[in-house]
Structure 1
């Protein structure tokens, strides 16, 4: 009830402030999922600033939402419920990386572009309108009606994302996502110079022996792990059974990592969960182990081996969100259900690199590192 009252208050102030004229080249950035410099919204805002064409920016970040929810001071409340809807009501462009539920109680003004950049480059798991039910589904559907541009990587994702957001195919643009530009630039630089700067940076920062091969282990977030982190037991078992030339870089969800980060890890496991530059981790690694995480849609650009440790596949399928496609045949790598199977796959190097290449080509319309340029051109178009 408290949240709903907050949504109403935000919307009321927004509608009052629509009486003011729109501010040309004003950009309202909603970073409710990723407020870091490497997020899609931050990248576009930065590139627009660098063009020095008179754009002005205002930000609503995840930390602002948490401060308002926690009622942490009058200034935080005044900012969230008065200043931010005022700026949003007068903005010409609204960028966002997540569902913003106050949108369910208001409507964008004419000629305002609402650009949903999302925070995932792709998805294995179902999400949004495909899984939510009840009031949440209803509110998300209403909020998403404001979207004028939904940005995805390729034509193969248009229908899926249109369904998950409950929007028309006509507002989905397969032009690529900004955060992949930097990764593609680094991959090209590595190929041109044969110098892996990211590997050098990660190995030095975390004191990883140069002779070791780094396996990046990035499991998806599971709600049940907030109290019972089974993954730590499994990763310890893996570390003990792997060939001696390998070490493991652990990339947990930050919430899980913060809660269990003090636990003693096997010396062959390096805690990389708090590294802000995920692109560096991917380029520094030799192999990716994951399960149902969307990281594969970025890691496939490196064309390095991936394997899928689906230790709780049945449980996750039955109690989780479910998948858009058949998991075993869709993921670009071998699937293992036990640590022994994972170790055997690594020992035998039984990867299908052609399958990874095909996966990349299916999910990227462009591989030129110019997604940001295309988006900025799209934003500059007049209705």
Structure 2
């Protein structure tokens, strides 16, 4: 009882929000809001050094606490300070961690000798990171030397500090494996040093997994062997990159593969990429395309009646871009518009309306992208800028179950992609959302504060088409699915923990296919729609060819939804869209506990919120299919609640509403 009372008092006294963190050249000023009144009680903002545990406390006067930067530096010149709110009640010392709010107003500070950054921790708490810059470094010469790398540069001390050793470290992004090289260091003049040496690449050969990427870091130590500076190798003063392909500095090659050294976008740090020659050539062509895009933006006028569409990097004619496009074809208003589709799929003849088709690897892609006023995409474009007058409609591709973007706390390939998505989302003018739930997540996870079009998903218009029964017959006939067979669609997600290389994954069916074949082949066919990251690793015996249809590369999954009678999935967001069909959904989550705790994390409570059973064994999955009518009855009420929560805006007219919002 006493403990419960103390908790209530603590919550009352320490409930607060941090409204603003303003960092100047001398001070850190913190604005604290929503403090509840209590007589004779003072409150303090506490800055706790994460390494030493030492604290600095500053009294909140009115709604502001102020701290001199020199006070932080006296505690730690290179450290992270966690922020708390603290008070005293009688003999009790009460404190509570301060949260990093979505709407927090903040600014960082940087000069030649100091960086101060306001950061958000994995648990959404507020911290202040202080980095004293003791040295300024620049690369003077960098080149391939046989199968190795020669590097030379300068180190300039901001204070009278003598460096004892200098290292270059390669750090692999996906698993943080590292290899360090100690370089020669000599004094040139007062506070100016030269570093130079050869980096033998054979040292990291064993860890050059295909498509792995490596960051390059400098590390300076003092006479006590203590690290006194560590930062990415900066190429800003080494060379300018007026054309994007010039960012690729040089390659070290063998018969089949390439180790490319390049300058990253934005911060222009030195990075390494190990890949095969074909993939490198493809990426290099995209870099040349970006230069063509820049030239087009400078030299050619914007076409106010041109729309550029892309879905899943041009691999598919699908998703909301497809349904928006086809609605525009039906609208007389857009009769004189030029439509361009990024498409490298196998069925160009199935795209109606005779659009211009372009390939991401070709120059014309970037010329049209530079000319088009309107961009429509469901992932991201290869360029990180747009010109004045562009209107960019980001449709996205699903209602989120798994955590996205800046909500992901577990390191993996998705967290590595955050930077690209953040840069890309700065260009979005509109973002489509299927429901209020998605809008709240998208705004936070993508740090997006422009217009969210919460009017349903265009890609779900197909469920409400007047001629749906005819569409189903046509699709089944095209796929050679017998008209008398019912369809089971298996569409699982990929797993961040099944990587066998950077963006390369393994996958095996986790149910007994032979058992399914024997019990279901007379009444059903099974469509496999695997995530593109794992589809290539899946192999099905020819014995099952009349039962199993491997359609992972089929352009439009919406068409597979409407012909299916049962959906089996796990943690993929496909079930949000499929719920528009009102047909049964089974959640085959054989690794549920592992996935929930260690792989990505969910927004929903799967046990309480899903419109179907969570199934963990192959036998239970088969039994559920064989008794699917009983399962449907059991989950009827929950399914209805789910539909009303997430599908309430889908009615067949989402494409029309989006077009009315975006296009002049």
TM-score range, shorter chain: 0.7 to 0.9
SS in 1 for 2:641: helix
Report the more deviating stretch, 176-185 or 212-221: 212-221
Q: Which residue matches 1:71?
A: none
TM-score (norm 2): 0.48
Superposition deviation, residue 201 in structure 1:
5.2
Distance 2:436 2:623 in 1: 36
Q: 1:57 aligns with which of 339, 342, 345?
A: 339
SS in 2 for 1:219: coil
TM-score (norm 1): 0.78
Number of equivalent positions:
356
Paired residues of 2:406 and 2:418 also in contact (CA < 8 A): yes
Q: Which residue matches 2:434?
A: 153
Paired residues of 1:149 and 1:173 also in contact (CA < 8 A): yes
Q: 1:219 aligns with which of 492, 514, 523?
A: 492
Q: Which residue matches 2:564?
A: 285
Q: 1:354 to 1:261 in 2, by over 3 A?
A: same
Paired residues of 1:175 and 1:366 also in contact (CA < 8 A): yes
Q: Which residue matches 2:456?
A: 176
Q: Which residue matches 1:110?
A: 388
Q: Which residue matches 2:308?
A: 28
Distance 2:536 2:414 in 1: 30
Distance 1:328 1:34 in 2: 36
Paired residues of 1:288 and 1:306 also in contact (CA < 8 A): yes
Superposition deviation, residue 146 in structure 1:
0.6
Distance 2:527 2:483 in 1: 12
Distance 1:276 1:81 in 2: 21
Larger relative contact order (Cα-Cα within 8 Å, sequence gap ≥ 6): 1
Superposition deviation, residue 123 in structure 1:
2.2
Gaps of 5+ in 2: 1-260, 266-283, 346-357
Superposition pairs of residues 116-155 of structure 1, within 5 angstroms: 116-118=394-396, 120-131=397-408, 136-155=417-436
More helix by share: 1
Paired residues of 2:526 and 2:548 also in contact (CA < 8 A): yes
Q: 2:327 aligns with which of 17, 31, 47?
A: 47
Give per-residue Cα distances to partners, 1:253-283, cap 9 Å, x unaligned.
Answer: 3564455345235477321425445344333
Paired residues of 1:248 and 1:270 also in contact (CA < 8 A): yes
Q: 1:366 to 1:209 in 2, by over 3 A?
A: closer
Q: Which residue matches 2:538?
A: 260
Cα RMSD for the two superposed structures: 3.4
Superposition deviation, residue 129 in structure 1:
3.0
* Greater Rg by CA: 2
Give per-residue Cα distances to partners, 1:322-365, cap 9 Å, x unaligned.
Answer: 21122222221111111222234344422312222222221134
Superposition deviation, residue 172 in structure 1:
1.0
Distance 1:228 1:154 in 2: 33
Paired residues of 2:576 and 2:647 also in contact (CA < 8 A): no
More strand by share: 2
Give per-residue Cα distances to partners, 1:270-297, cap 9 Å, x unaligned.
Answer: 2142544534433333221111122212
Superposition pairs of residues 314-333 of structure 1, within 5 angstroms: 314-333=593-612
Distance 2:341 2:555 in 1: 20
Superposition deviation, residue 232 in structure 1:
5.9
Q: 1:262 to 1:338 in 2, by over 3 A?
A: closer
Distance 2:512 2:390 in 1: 49
Q: 1:33 to 1:25 in 2, by over 3 A?
A: same
Paired residues of 2:585 and 2:611 also in contact (CA < 8 A): yes
Q: 2:658 aligns with which of 366, 375, 382?
A: 375
Q: Which residue matches 2:100?
A: none
Q: 2:472 aligns with which of 188, 198, 212?
A: 198
Paired residues of 2:313 and 2:381 also in contact (CA < 8 A): no
Report the more deviating stretch, 91-100 or 196-205: 196-205
